[in-house]
Chain A
Amino acid sequence: DTEVTQTPKHLVMGMTNKKSLKCEQHMGHRAMYWYKQKAKKPPELMFVYSYEKLSINESVPSRFSPECPNSSLLNLHLHALQPEDSALYLCASSQDLYRANYGYTFGSGTRLTVV
């Protein structure tokens, strides 16, 4: 299995809703990442997990809450989002932080729309 699977593919949520994005990989990778990508822009790093521990938080607002319950699964919990949070959310993984030089494996993303 050489894939990163993200669910759902599309999500529409109101500003008062609570929802979660899910990312799963079974490649034995120990580093996982959340990126946010606005239209026609490069991905922007949000969070990095290494061996299930949060390694980097790029000053992301607290309405985004990451969770890594095990080495295969990464969640992003969403609460009280704003319309400007509408974007493509990409998950990625690498063997570990110090072998990230081999490149990341990305999922297909979740297209989030906040109404």
Chain B
Amino acid sequence: AQTVTQSQPEMSVQEAETVTLSCTYDTSESDYYLFWYKQPPSRQMILVIRQEAYKQQNATENRFSVNFQKAAKSFSLKISDSQLGDAAMYFCASLSGGYQKVTFGTGTKLQVIP
């Protein structure tokens, strides 16, 4: 079984500053993938970034990067130069085993202050 834990229900950041969202996970699988999804008020879940567990290098997508600590089962998301459009609910998620089922964390609501 997989579990994903997000311990920060809400976070806030000043525009143009950097913020880090935390996520820990647990899985017995050796082959798994981790994701961060963003859900703005428009409701559509958007894939922000993905990490393959077998890769040690942290994934980066423009202003978004992750800190993947495999031994600690930690997968945090760093947003640099925060913009107003980054305000959303962020869900950490994992996919393992037969790839049939994604497990989501409980989400972190990010507020961006102008």
Contacts and interface: CB of A to CB of B under 8 A. Distances in A.
B100 A106 contact: no
B74 to A, nearest CB: 19
Given A42-B91, A97-B98, 5 more contacts: A41-B107, A42-B105, A43-B45, A92-B45, A106-B37
A97 B99 contact: yes
Interface of A: 40-43, 45, 48, 55-56, 88, 90, 92, 97-109, 111
Contacts of B37: 106
Contacts of A101: 33, 50, 52, 95, 99
30 contacts: A41-B106, A42-B104, A42-B105, A48-B100, A48-B101, A88-B43, A90-B45, A97-B100, A98-B99, A99-B99, A100-B99, A100-B100, A101-B33, A101-B50, A101-B52, A102-B50, A103-B35, A103-B47, A103-B50, A104-B47, A104-B102, A105-B47, A106-B37, A106-B44, A106-B45, A106-B46, A107-B44, A108-B42, A108-B44, A109-B43
Instruction: Say what secondary structure dominates the interface of chain A.
Output: mixed
Contact of A42 (B33, B50, B106): B106
A35 to B, nearest CB: 9
Interface residues of B, number: 22
Contacts of B33: 101
Nearest to B101: A45
B2 to A, nearest CB: 12
Which of B47, B100, B104, B106 has the largest number of chain A CB atoms within 10 A?
A: B100
A31 to B, nearest CB: 8
